Structure 1
Amino acid sequence: MTTTGTTTANPTRIALRTLADRYLALWNEPDAGLRRKALEELWSDDGLHVLQPPQDMREQAEGLGFTEVKLEARGHDALEYRVTRAYEEFVAPGEYVFRARGEAEQLRDVVKLSWEMAPAAGGEALGGGTEFLVLGEDGRIVTDYQFISL
């Protein structure tokens, strides 16, 4: 926002950008100890990450007779495993990084942020997704709904 030629920062916008930056940094963090610390600071003790599986996985499950497929990780240990697995598969080999796409938005206790997975050397994104983060009273994530888009 601009007033009389002076630019003042919007505290809500800064807080949202900080949350989005911290969230994405977690998925790119190479140090396991720092990754765990960041996770505990971001998520509540009983935090839940719910991933909508990609369409091909849902179709395979339907072929096996499953009408609903959801992937969940609850609590710091399960969340750590989930984040570490994604890090090891996509980031650790040096091929990709996760980065923000656009600005985060907030409506009451829900934050929406979009991200993309891009080559570590730079270039066009190969995939991405959108997170809907439900925040607790302490500002930590209670539930993270992740929608992958390829």
Structure 2
Amino acid sequence: MESPGSLAERYVAVWNETDSERRKSQIADLWIPGGRHYVGERKVEGYDALDGRVRESHEKNVRDNANRFRAAGDARRVHDIVVFHWEMLPAGGEIVLARGLEFLVVDGSGKIVADYQFFPA
């Protein structure tokens, strides 16, 4: 089984990915086909909706505002739950501009079934 830290690193890599085809492939590697993502009142479900959500965040935060995301290094797993914090920083800097908490429900193979994002953390 994949370590929680490795899953967290792969998760944040998706939000940084600039190539749309690689991003779609990474989404399929991380989530089950009907995987869900919740943030605030928003819910997206399935690969196409997940791709739209990630692309929207990427365009706003990474492409247009020159930031990057990273895992905070505190990922933990208990049974089918993985939790970790992520941070948004300037592309060339170390000042944390934003911090969020991910609460992931994973299946037996480690793929994301449901992803609950708490922002700010």
Q: TM-score, normalised by structure 2?
A: 0.94
Alignment equivalent of 1:41, drawn from 6, 29, 43: 29
Partner in structure 2 of residue 145 of structure 1: 116
Partners of 2:110 and 2:5 in 1: how far apart? 14
Query: How many residue pairs align between the two structures?
Result: 121
**C-alpha deviations, 1:47-66, integer Å up to 9, x for none?**
000002xxxxxxxxxxxxxx
Partner in structure 2 of residue 30 of structure 1: 18
Give the residue type in structure 1 aligned to 2:33. D
Structure 1 residue 76 corresponds to structure 2 residue 64: no
Give the stretch that moved more between structures: 98-107 or 23-32: 98-107
Cα RMSD for the two superposed structures: 1.4
Give the residue type in structure 2 aligned to 1:123. E
Runs of 4+ residues deviating >2 angstroms: none
Give the residue type in structure 2 aligned to 1:27. W
Gaps of 5+ in 1: 1-11, 53-69
Give the stretch that moved more between structures: 31-40 or 122-131: 122-131
Alignment equivalent of 1:115, drawn from 76, 86, 94: 86
Gaps of 5+ in 2: none
**C-alpha deviations, 1:48-107, integer Å up to 9, x for none?**
00002xxxxxxxxxxxxxxxxx10100000000000000000111361000111320011
Q: TM-score, normalised by structure 1?
A: 0.77
Please give the residue correspondences for 1:67-106 in structure 2 after superposition, counting only pairs within 5 Å: 70-93=41-64, 95-106=66-77
